[in-house]
Structure 1
């Protein structure tokens, strides 16, 4: 096949984004996550912030990183009063971008329900990365420089948003159901580097690389 796509769903703090980025670097292809929002903004003519606000159900000025940076470091929990957001029109733009990418180049796509958007395509491999909570907390504390309490609350809330987002846009499917994916990996047990190698081995078995 001329091109292939690897999609990633990931629990917050599991290292899924890092695994996706490393895989893309090894294979010499692009890794798309927030850049999809930029492309959708350019296609629609709408401000990119509009897409950021509904990105996997996280609504906060400046995106999720800005949201985290604004939290007190000693805070014990995160209070969210934002209304549940689902903008079908914006999601349609994202779907078109994802499908256009799959039609034109080999790439890695993180999140955005890409596995469901591209379902049924023989040149698409879908991956789900998860890990025990303690491992995710430790990584979040190290990477985001927050307390364990804030890390735990952030993981819980973010994963809930992602699950709700996925369920809404995939017509009731469960985000963390392993049957939705070609492969589910525990990044703590396998290790970040080994996850990359395992996925590459699977791509070779599928004769995509």
Structure 2
């Protein structure tokens, strides 16, 4: 039996991370989020802090030259120039995800994983969104913020995700054609989103996708 992965892109406040965690628990497989930075650090031998710092540097205008270039590629070795460049740090994350898929099944959040696995038949790519009003309300409750603060936080986080996706893939984030399945968590709720993801995985992945008996 081959392994499989389910990638989840999501708008902040949509509940996508919560749905992903519940889905992984339901399927009894690993849930990969920020842990990916640690795994990439172990794989490359590069300090984990540098991976986090690369994410922070993404917000600087200097990096947004030639945005249409796809930066996902092969990793560089320590003796090569650019070994600790932002692109190489990201490519180590991509390498780790591909290697992980050879060993086990998992749900992975963000990191443009849908692009990394775009040609894999044993991967289902999912995008979970909700209205801005819904996301702001959820953010107010979860982070104990005022409406104005929550609005700013949601907008800033989604802009970061959009920029991250564009910078590393050369494509636009949150475009339906990038994904196998797009869901509105506000209208469907967590449980129905999980059910639909499972049904879609059965259709795309086939016999390699097994749902544990409850």
Instruction: Report TM bin, short chain.
Output: 0.7 to 0.9
Paired position in structure 2 for 1:169: 168
Paired position in structure 2 for 1:31: 31
Instruction: Please point out which of 187, 191, 194 is paired with 1:193.
Output: 191
1:126-165 matched pairs, under 5 angstroms = 126-165=125-164
| 3-state SS in 1 of match to 2:145 | coil
Paired position in structure 2 for 1:2: 2
Does the aligned pair in 2 maintain the 1:37–1:48 contact within 8 Å? Answer: yes
Question: How much does 1:53 deviate?
Answer: 2.5
| 3-state SS in 2 of match to 1:129 | strand
Paired position in structure 1 for 2:180: 182
TM-score normalized with structure 1 length: 0.83
1: CA distance between counterparts of 2:62 and 2:154?
A: 19
Paired position in structure 1 for 2:22: 22
Alignment gaps of 5+ in structure 2: 64-85
| 3-state SS in 2 of match to 1:54 | helix
Paired position in structure 2 for 1:83: 60
1: CA distance between counterparts of 2:149 and 2:159?
A: 15
Q: Answer with 82-91 or 29-38: which moved more.
A: 82-91
Question: How much does 1:5 deviate?
Answer: 0.4
2: CA distance between counterparts of 1:85 and 1:120?
A: 31
2: CA distance between counterparts of 1:185 and 1:107?
A: 20
**CA-based RMSD:** 1.7
Question: How much does 1:124 deviate?
Answer: 0.4
Q: Answer with 84-93 or 121-130: which moved more.
A: 84-93
2: CA distance between counterparts of 1:195 and 1:189?
A: 10
User: Residues 91 and 84 (structure 1 numbering): CA distance in 2 closer, same or farther, change over 3 Å?
Assistant: farther
How many residue pairs get matched?
185
Question: How much does 1:84 deviate?
Answer: 4.1
Moved beyond 6 Å, runs of 4+: none
1: CA distance between counterparts of 2:160 and 2:61?
A: 9
Does the aligned pair in 2 maintain the 1:54–1:85 contact within 8 Å? Answer: no
User: Residues 85 and 191 (structure 1 numbering): CA distance in 2 closer, same or farther, change over 3 Å?
Assistant: farther
- Cα deviation, 1:68-124, whole Å, max 9, x if unaligned, reads xxxxxxxxxxxxxx5247611111111111111122111001011111111111000
